[in-house]
């Protein structure tokens, strides 16, 4: 049985949940091409913008302007009074669809990408081969976008860099979905990364980490994509909590004292793009 309460139904595929500067939950719906903001207290929801090439990761510059990943054309867009404008072009770094994003307090954005056509690979051969220890995913780079929109490589050869979070000690944690691990980096004053090491190995638990959220104690909440549950993981890989969801969980956020989970029957476009089976689910922490 699910431990969560269903907050909202009728999504196609929710992703990139974040608590916004105004306290609302912001999230993307891939196949409705919308970024929305939801007041968890009142249930009132607003469409913030439409992203024709599919929205994903979200974040804010220090002055409050919204950044959103435009997946299929591999760009980061910025919301101005007149609408969305290009903030950064990732085509020189992203080798397939751009995806999740973390924007830090300085306005620096770290942006991951698929690395290859994952959906086509699953459609052709299923998920089974990717679960085998001998299968190695193509590597790709994590992009660093500075507040002025300039782009550089933050780290190379990650296996589907996905959800990200900052630990209380300032380290960056990246979910390497197809390496079945969380990877940590030291962050320099200029935003560059070093000291790469495994934060938590997750293959033995069958967890391909998708979206993540870091809590105040340094625990990392992980959406495992293939399972209807969210896990809290500590450094070293110990799982300290499990929260059951009604459907497979693809992304998580901490909003106030609640864990918000984006769930759906699948991530395959042919299964979810034409339906409205996605949900937002919440759990009181």
Report pLDDT digits (tens) over 126-136: 666 566 677 77
For Cα atoms 99, 100, 104, give the angle at the middle one, nearest 5 degrees: 140
Boundaries of domain holding 154: 5-284
For Cα atoms 120, 124, 126, give the angle at the middle one, nearest 5 degrees: 100
CA within 13 Å, CB half, 275: 13
pLDDT of residue 123: 74
CB atoms within 10 A of CB 20: 18
Residue 123 has φ and ψ, to the nearest 5°, of -60, -35
Structural domain total, the chain: 1
**39 pLDDT higher than 70:** yes
More confident of the two residues 251 and 121: 251
Q: Model's pTM, two decimal places?
A: 0.95
Q: Which residues contact 91 (CB under 8 A, 6 or more apart)?
A: 73, 74, 75
Report the alpha-carbon distance of residue 57 to residue 17 in Å, rounded.
8
Report pLDDT digits (tens) over 204-243: 999 999 999 999 999 999 999 989 999 999 999 999 999 9
pLDDT of residue 231: 98
Largest distance between two CA atoms of the chain: 50
Report the alpha-carbon distance of residue 13 to residue 153 in Å, rounded.
29
User: What tokens does 140 get?
Assistant: 């790709």
Report pLDDT digits (tens) over 40-75: 999 999 999 999 999 999 999 999 999 999 999 999
Question: Would you list the DSSP string of 31-97?
Answer: GGTEEEEE-TTT--EEEEEE-TT-EEEEEE-TTS-EEEEETTTTEEEEEETTEEEEEEE-TTT-SS-
Report pLDDT digits (tens) over 145-188: 999 999 999 999 999 999 999 999 999 999 999 999 999 999 99
**CATH number of the domain bearing residue 160:** 2.120.10.30
Q: By percentage, how much of the chain surpasses pLDDT 90? A: 90
Report pLDDT digits (tens) over 86-116: 999 999 999 999 999 999 999 999 999 998 7
pLDDT of residue 247: 97
**25 pLDDT higher than 70:** yes
């Amino acid at each position: 049985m699910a431990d969560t309460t269903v907050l909202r139904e009728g999504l196609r595929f929710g992703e990139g949940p974040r608590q916004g500067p105004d306290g609302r939950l912001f999230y993307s719906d891939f196949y409705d091409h919308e970024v929305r903001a939801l007041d968890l207290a009142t249930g009132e929801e607003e469409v913030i913008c439409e992203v024709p090439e599919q929205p994903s990761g979200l974040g804010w510059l220090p002055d409050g302007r919204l950044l959103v990943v435009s997946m299929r054309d591999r760009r980061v867009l910025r919301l101005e009074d007149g609408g969305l404008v290009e903030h950064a072009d990732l085509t020189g770094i992203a080798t397939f669809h751009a995806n999740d994003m973390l924007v830090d307090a300085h306005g620096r954005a770290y942006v991951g990408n698929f690395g290859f056509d994952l959906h086509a690979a699953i459609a052709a051969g299923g998920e089974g081969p990717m679960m085998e220890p001998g299968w190695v995913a193509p590597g790709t780079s994590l992009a660093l976008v500075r507040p002025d929109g300039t782009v550089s490589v933050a780290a190379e050869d990650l296996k589907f860099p996905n959800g990200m979070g900052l630990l209380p000690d300032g380290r960056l944690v990246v979910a390497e979905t197809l390496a079945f691990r969380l990877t940590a980096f030291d962050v320099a004053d200029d935003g560059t990364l070093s000291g790469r090491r495994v934060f938590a190995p997750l293959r033995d638990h069958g967890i391909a980490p998708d979206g993540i959220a870091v809590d105040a104690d340094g625990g990392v909440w992980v959406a495992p994509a293939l399972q209807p549950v969210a896990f809290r993981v500590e450094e070293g890989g110990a799982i300290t909590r499990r929260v059951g969801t009604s459907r497979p969980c693809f992304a998580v956020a901490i909003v106030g004292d609640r864990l918000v989970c984006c769930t759906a029957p699948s991530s395959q476009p042919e299964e979810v793009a034409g339906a409205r089976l996605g949900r937002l689910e919440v759990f009181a922490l």
